[in-house]
Structure 1
Amino acid sequence: MKFSRPRVNEIEVNLTPMIDCLLFLLVFLLVSTTFNQHSRINLTLPDAQGVPPASTDDRVEVVVQASGKYMVNGQALAGNDETQLTTAIQQATNARRDMPVIIAADAKAAHQDVVRVMDVAGKLGFMNINISTKVPARGYP
Structure 2
Amino acid sequence: MFHNRRKQEVSVNLTPLIDVVFLLLIFFMVSTSFNRETQIKLELPEASGDPLETTPELIEISVDSEGRYFVNAKPIVNTQLETLMKAINIVSKGNKDLPVVISADSKAPYQAVVTAMDASRKTGYYNFTMATRKPGNQ
Q: CA deviation at 1:55?
A: 3.5
2: CA distance, partners of 1:132 / 1:115:
14
Q: Which runs of 4+ in 1 moved over 3 A?
A: none
Amino acid at match of 2:118: D
Matched letter for residue 98 of structure 1: D
Deviations 1:74-95 (A, max 9, x none): 1011111111101110011111
Q: Tell me the secondary structure at the aligned position of residue 65 of structure 2.
A: coil
* Greater C-alpha radius of gyration: 1
Gaps of 5+ in 1: 1-45
Aligned position for 1:81:
80
Q: Which secondary structure state, in structure 2, belongs to the residue aligned with residue 67 of structure 1?
A: coil
Partner of 1:56: 55
**Is contact 1:101-1:126 (8 Å) kept?**
yes
Q: Is the 8 A contact 2:62 2:102 kept in 1?
A: yes
Contact residue 65 and residue 106 of structure 2 kept, 8 A: yes
Residue 102 of structure 2 contacts residue 131 of structure 2 at CA under 8 Å; is this kept in 1?
Answer: yes
Structure 1 vs Structure 2: percent identity of aligned residues?
34
**d(CA) in 2 for partners of 1:123, 1:87:** 11
Q: What is the TM-score normalised by the length of structure 2?
A: 0.62
Q: Give CA deviations for 1:87-113 in whole Å, capped at 9, x if unaligned.
A: 110011111111111011011111110
- Mapped to 1, the partners of 2:69 and 2:83 lie a distance apart of 10
Query: Contact 1:98–1:128 at 8 Å: present in 2 too?
Result: no
Q: CA deviation at 1:47?
A: 7.9
Letter in 2 for 1:103: I
C-alpha spacing 1:93/1:105, structure 2 compared with 1 (3 Å): same
CA-to-partner distance for each residue in 1:28-54, whole Å, 9 max, x for gaps? xxxxxxxxxxxxxxxxxx982252323
Amino acid across the alignment from 2:103: A
Q: Does 1:135 align with 2:134?
A: yes
With the length of structure 1 as denominator, give the TM-score of the two structures.
0.61
Say if 1:102 and 1:131, in contact at 8 Å, map to a contact too. yes
CA distance, structure 1, for counterparts of residue 68 and residue 49 of structure 2: 26
- What is the aligned-residue RMSD (CA, Å)? 1.9
The residue correspondences of 1:1-141 to structure 2 (distance < 5 A) are 48-137=47-136
Q: Which runs of 5+ in 2 are unaligned?
A: 1-44
For 2:127 and 2:50, the matched residues in 1 are separated by 17
